[in-house]
Amino acid sequence: MNRLSISSLKKSLKKKEGVLGKSKYLNSAVIIPLMLIDDEYNLLFQKRAHNIRQGGEICFPGGEFDPAQDKSFVDTAIRETVEEIGIKKENIEVIGEMDTLVAPMGVTVDPFVGILNYNNLDDFNIDKTEVEKVFAIPLSYFLENKPSEYHVRLEVHTTKKNDKNEEIETFPVSKLKLPGRYSNPWRGREHRVLVYENLDETIWGITAEIVYEFCKLVDECEK
């Protein structure tokens, strides 16, 4: 018996863009925070505390999706923002969502644009265990200044070292009867890395990519 119903399949297929196999990635979400300061919209950034993962990096508030706490990715973005920079949930006005960003290291990021109903950074009660500081940069800076572009080369390895420095095969090339060349690292594509470098704090990587795409969206809105 043919168990495939074409009519049911048509209804199940998504009508919008998505990420195939998204559950295999580390899924996260962030708020792109807009603050009106001195009659000009600013982007709010945070510097991660040095004693945590990716310490010292500049990023937007956000974090990993937690199915025990979050019903959706916007829940994740809001929850993490409230926890990290110490603001009230009701003072975050989410106005929309951008496309999902898929990073080459196996992470997806769902960015939500949110207006923070604050005018002063001193009103925040940041969690010092996670955030060293927050700072704002006028949106106009990013609209007027393009990021630098660099490239890194990514390689695929079929082995890794364990805690005892022993080589562990993670992808059994011989057992799977694949060509022997796959036992050696093979090269993937070069990956573009965007960097906003002429600032007090360097903004790069995923955060710079989101800023760049957000500015493209703003430019399109003004045309």
**Does 3 fall in a domain?**
no
82 with 177, same domain: the answer is no
**Does 51 fall in a domain?**
yes
Domain boundaries, position 118: 24-146+197-223
pTM, rounded to two decimals? 0.87
Between 104 and 139, residue with greater pLDDT:
139
- pLDDT surpasses 50 at 81: yes
74 with 95, same domain: the answer is yes
**Does 12 fall in a domain?**
no
Rounded to an integer, the average pLDDT of 46-73 is 91
Q: Exposure of 152 by Cβ count < 10 A (0-12 exposed, 13-18 middle, 19+ buried)? A: exposed
**Does 135 fall in a domain?**
yes
**Does 8 fall in a domain?**
no
Rounded to an integer, the average pLDDT of 199-218 is 94
Confidence of residue 13 (pLDDT cuts 50, 70, 90): low
**Does 45 fall in a domain?**
yes
49 with 125, same domain: the answer is yes
- pLDDT surpasses 60 at 133: yes
82 with 113, same domain: the answer is yes
219 with 133, same domain: the answer is yes
94 with 34, same domain: the answer is yes
**Does 77 fall in a domain?**
yes
Confidence of residue 1 (pLDDT cuts 50, 70, 90): very low
Instruction: Write the CATH number for 135.
Output: 3.90.79.10
- pLDDT surpasses 90 at 61: yes
The pLDDT assigned to 92 comes to 96
119 with 155, same domain: the answer is no
3-class DSSP string for 161-216? ECCCCCEEECCCCCCCCCCHHHHCCEEEEEEEEEEECCCCCCEEHHHHHHHHHHHH
41 with 142, same domain: the answer is yes
The pLDDT assigned to 2 comes to 47
DSSP 8-state assignment for residue 6? H
* Cα dihedral 129→130→131→132 (10° resolution): 50
Residue 204 to residue 149: CA distance in whole angstroms:
10
138 with 219, same domain: the answer is yes
**Does 83 fall in a domain?**
yes
105 with 43, same domain: the answer is yes
Q: Give the count of domains, the chain.
A: 2
101 with 185, same domain: the answer is no
Rounded to an integer, the average pLDDT of 119-148 is 94
185 with 80, same domain: the answer is no
Confidence of residue 154 (pLDDT cuts 50, 70, 90): confident
Confidence of residue 3 (pLDDT cuts 50, 70, 90): low
